Amino acid sequence: MIKNVIIAGVGGQGTIFAGKILGTMAYQTGLHVKISEIHGMSQRGGSVVTQVRFGEHVYAPLAQAGEVDVLIALEELEALRYASYLKENGILLMCNCRIKPTASDGGIYPQSIRTQLEQKYYVYYMEEIPLRDKTLNVRMVGAAAGCLGFSREDGIKALEQNVAAEFLEKDKKAFLEGWEIYEQTQKSPAEWRVVCTTN
């Protein structure tokens, strides 16, 4: 069985790094992994999307609309942009961070994103995850790891393989904070929909 994950954000939010951590977790447990990246205008705050697919045998690099198990959205507009990729019973993990578009629609930011998402997807609101220490991406990966079948140890090992020593303890702490959020939901993975708010 193949699991599909999309990590969507804008340049500078660590979307690609988050995908690398997830991919490493899957690879080190013996699964076949494919990671695809779409950069866009990442240096100007443009959309950056990473797809991670893993399972016993993975051939195609990209999942299609309606096939994604988990959407990790580091920014509200990116959540709206890629929500249609979620399968039925898929998981939406979203930060309410808003980064004004640089080009599309003249830089106008839609004001009804949450309403639009709530009309189509069940949204479960949780304790807030603050945007601090630039570890939001790792924290959200931690929250998603449990429902994807990974252990705390899988996440810590993946971080140890990919993070410089000077940042390792901070990222470990962020991952475990995210994992605790997953545990606190007390819901089965198939029923879990999450919006993680900031301020």
Q: Summarize pLDDT for 159-195 with one digit per residue, the tens.
A: 999 999 999 999 999 999 888 888 877 555 555 666 6
- Which is more confident, 95 or 107? 95
d(CA 178, CA 145): 9
Helices 165-185 and 136-145: angle between axes, nearest 10 degrees: 50
Residue 194: both structure tokens together = 């999450």
> N- to C-terminal Cα distance for the chain?
38
pLDDT of amino acid 199: 39
Checking if the pLDDT of 105 tops 90, the result is no
What SS3 state is found at 87?
Answer: strand
Interacting residues of 169 by C-beta distance below 8 A, sequence separation 6+: none
Q: What is the DSSP letter of 7?
A: E
What SS3 state is found at 32?
Answer: strand
Residue entry with tokens 């020593």: 165
pTM of the model: 0.85
For a pLDDT cut of 90, what percent of the chain falls above it? 44
Checking if the pLDDT of 124 tops 50, the result is yes
* Residue-range domains of the chain with CATH: 3-99+110-196 (3.40.920.10)
